């Protein structure tokens, strides 16, 4: 996996990265970036109502679309992608665009919509890049997590659905986020019989 050399400019690397990826690869990468920043949103949940749940849904559904679009052997993969992108757009719009994580989720959903032709390829790729940068904001560690994710794509047999099934962090997640993840799991436990909680478990 990619390390974090001090002389590497992650902003420049990420900007170049999204010019080389396929759309499904970019969507999965951007979704994972947004999911890493989601715990920060939990702290604002009292102000935003259930926005953290809405944003989680947008990211999880978009991640499914990006991961499954190539997997033709999965029965109904095309239908799943249609459902996922439409659901992602709906859930993302319900969030507040005032916060970076929510805004990133909305951009992720726009990128995922490009998988079934709802957006042009170029517009969807721009949305994926925007989503990734909004999600990491100025956090250098989160930027390097994106580059670590992308390093897997060097292997031509490493598909988006492989990355989608990997842990979100290259090492241990930041300790300060653990409490927020626990809070998010609690919030999701009441959603549709705990269905969404399984995405974190």
> pLDDT tens, 46-57?
555 566 777 777
Query: What pLDDT does 36 receive?
Result: 85
Query: What pLDDT does 57 receive?
Result: 78
CA atoms of 113 and 178, how far apart (whole Å) = 31
Query: What pLDDT does 61 receive?
Result: 81
- Percent of the chain predicted with pLDDT > 70: 73
Query: What pLDDT does 149 receive?
Result: 92
Query: What pLDDT does 63 receive?
Result: 83
CA atoms of 71 and 24, how far apart (whole Å) = 11
- Lowest mean pLDDT, pick from 42-56, 116-130, 168-182: 42-56
Q: Answer yes or no: is pLDDT of 5 > 70.
A: no
CA atoms of 97 and 99, how far apart (whole Å) = 6
Most confident among 63-77, 140-154, 177-191 (mean pLDDT): 140-154
Q: Answer yes or no: is pLDDT of 179 > 70.
A: yes
C-alpha torsion angle, residues 176, 2, 52, 40 (rounded to 10): 30
CA atoms of 145 and 75, how far apart (whole Å) = 32
- The pLDDT confidence band at residue 1, using thresholds 50, 70 and 90, is very low
Would you give the DSSP letter of residue 174?
P
In degrees, rounded to 5, the angle at the alpha carbon of residue 32 between the alpha carbons of residues 105 and 79 is 70
- The pLDDT confidence band at residue 2, using thresholds 50, 70 and 90, is very low
Domain-wise residue ranges, the chain: 10-200
Would you give the DSSP letter of residue 173?
P
């Amino acid at each position: 996996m990619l390390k974090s050399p001090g002389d590497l400019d992650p902003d420049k690397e990420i900007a170049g990265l999204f010019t080389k990826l396929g759309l499904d690869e970019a969507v999965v990468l951007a979704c994972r970036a947004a999911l890493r920043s989601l715990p920060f949103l939990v702290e604002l949940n009292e102000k935003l109502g259930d926005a953290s749940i809405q944003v989680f849904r947008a990211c999880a559904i978009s991640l499914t679309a990006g991961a499954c679009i190539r997997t033709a052997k999965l029965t109904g993969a095309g239908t799943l992608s249609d459902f996922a992108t439409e659901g992602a757009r709906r859930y993302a719009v319900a969030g507040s665009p005032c916060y970076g994580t929510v805004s990133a989720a909305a951009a992720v959903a726009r990128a995922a919509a490009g998988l079934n032709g709802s957006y042009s390829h170029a517009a969807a790729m721009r949305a994926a890049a925007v989503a990734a940068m909004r999600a990491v904001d100025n956090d250098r560690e989160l930027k390097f997590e994106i580059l670590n994710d992308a390093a897997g794509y060097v292997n031509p047999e490493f598909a988006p659905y492989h990355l989608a099934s990997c842990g979100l962090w290259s090492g241990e997640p930041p300790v300060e986020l653990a409490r927020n993840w626990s809070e998010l799991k609690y919030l999701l436990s009441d959603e549709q019989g705990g269905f969404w909680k399984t995405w974190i478990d």
